[in-house]
Structure 1
């Protein structure tokens, strides 16, 4: 981006959301009209403490609760789809970087399919679990700065990044000239987001600092001379997010209602293209 952008300027009230995972504190979710994006305020100084929960499933391989089992079952299906996506790119070498790699399952699948794997994950517990799977992860991107990758993936990671503008600049620098950047994020314009409002699980404040639309992703990356090549749906997310949202709203599990609303979200998105979560494939212009 040509100049420093303050995403916290000229904000309009949108919603007040609660942290249902760790603190039960309330946070403002504000609308940034310029970028068609929502912003969580305030950002806690000790943000890492808000990930310290057994309920934060991307940092564990837990299969204890209904939500855990659904998450793990969906994960196994989506891993195959993610691999198929990166295999569709015509790359000179096969170097993949997974940012926010969690417990390393995606990179493990890539490794068994002839990709040279690299990854970062700030959570030490998740890194330790990944290491036991033969996937060694860096704490952050600093040790990878002198390399370039054919594919860089961020599966539900960009919404967590504190220094958004600088991070996008870094991601571009790590990408080969003909490489692909894959960004998967929740979509606050989806039917399930609009239906559940402050109870929508994908707001996940304060861990999710930003809440993106198709417009905001295109605009943010266009400032770095990158363009969206294609947008793909993550249809399973509607069901999982609805399952959690029902629990937050009614304080008990309502799997039937969640299934109906997840189905409605995907059905309506057939025409609107506003799925619960979206995958953006980006490249340098």
Structure 2
């Protein structure tokens, strides 16, 4: 990037959201007109403390509740789809870097399918769980200096990154010349986001600092000459997010109503292409 981006410029109020997972605090979600994305303000100084919850399931392999079991079951299906996607790329070395790898399940699947796996995860407990699965994760990207990767994946990670501009530049640097960068993020322009509004679970303030549209991803990554090659839906997310959103809104899961809202969201997205979450496949221009 040649010039530093001021993400606080041209912000207008969008809505107020509550942290339903940890603190109960209320945060402002404002719209950045330049990048057509939303910004959570303020960012807590002790942001790491907001991940310390048993409800933050990506840092555990919990199967205590029905919700946990559904989550883990769906995760197994999506892992196969993710593997199929990366196997569709013609790569020379088969080196993959998974950023924010959680408990290492995706990299374990990749490793079992002849990929050379590397990963980062800031949460110590999650890293320890991954290590027991034979997946060694480093704490952050700064530990990769000169390596290049054929595929870099961020599955619902970019929305958590504090130094967004710097992070995007680093990802570009780590990507091999004909490599692919895969970014999966929630889409605040989906039907379920518009329906649930401040109760939409994928706002997940303050852990989610940024809330992207298709235009934001296109514009942000064009600054480092990465082009969106393909955009794919994550259809399960509409149901999962609606289930949580319904709980936040009414105090109950309401699985039938949640399933209906997820179904409607996916049906509408067939026309609008605005699915609850989207996968972006990017490559160097």
**TM-score range for the pair, normalised by the shorter chain length:** over 0.9
Deviation at 1:10, TM superposition (A): 1.6
Which TM-score applies when normalising by structure 2?
0.99
**4+ residue runs over 6 A deviation:** none
1:74 maps to 74
SS in 1 for 2:102: coil
Deviation at 1:32, TM superposition (A): 0.4
Alpha-carbon distance in structure 2 between the residues aligned to 1:251 and 1:111 = 41
Alpha-carbon distance in structure 2 between the residues aligned to 1:162 and 1:120 = 15
Alpha-carbon distance in structure 2 between the residues aligned to 1:65 and 1:18 = 24
Alpha-carbon distance in structure 1 between the residues aligned to 2:41 and 2:66 = 31
Which TM-score applies when normalising by structure 1?
0.99
1:273 maps to 273
Alpha-carbon distance in structure 1 between the residues aligned to 2:276 and 2:141 = 28
Q: Does 1:89 align with 2:50?
A: no
1:116 maps to 116
Alpha-carbon distance in structure 2 between the residues aligned to 1:34 and 1:251 = 36
Alpha-carbon distance in structure 2 between the residues aligned to 1:193 and 1:66 = 24
Gaps in structure 2 of 5+ consecutive residues: none
Deviation at 1:67, TM superposition (A): 2.0
Provide, for residues 77-99 of structure 1, a one-character-per-residue CA deviation record: whole Å limited to 9, x for no partner. Answer: 00000000000000111000000
2:224 maps to 224
2:145 maps to 145
Gaps in structure 1 of 5+ consecutive residues: none
1:31 maps to 31
SS in 2 for 1:267: helix
Alignment of 1:1-285 (within 5 A): 1-285=1-285
Paired residues, number = 285
Deviation at 1:138, TM superposition (A): 0.1
CA RMSD across the alignment: 0.5
Deviation at 1:2, TM superposition (A): 1.3
Alpha-carbon distance in structure 1 between the residues aligned to 2:79 and 2:191 = 25
SS in 1 for 2:9: coil
Query: Which range is displaced more, 84-93 or 63-72?
Result: 63-72
Alpha-carbon distance in structure 2 between the residues aligned to 1:184 and 1:37 = 15
Alpha-carbon distance in structure 2 between the residues aligned to 1:251 and 1:114 = 45
Alpha-carbon distance in structure 1 between the residues aligned to 2:277 and 2:115 = 26
Alpha-carbon distance in structure 2 between the residues aligned to 1:142 and 1:218 = 25
SS in 2 for 1:154: strand
Provide, for residues 13-32 of structure 1, a one-character-per-residue CA deviation record: whole Å limited to 9, x for no partner. Answer: 00100000000100000000
Deviation at 1:65, TM superposition (A): 1.8
Alpha-carbon distance in structure 2 between the residues aligned to 1:181 and 1:223 = 15
Deviation at 1:252, TM superposition (A): 1.2
Provide, for residues 96-137 of structure 1, a one-character-per-residue CA deviation record: whole Å limited to 9, x for no partner. Answer: 000000000000000000000000000000000000000000
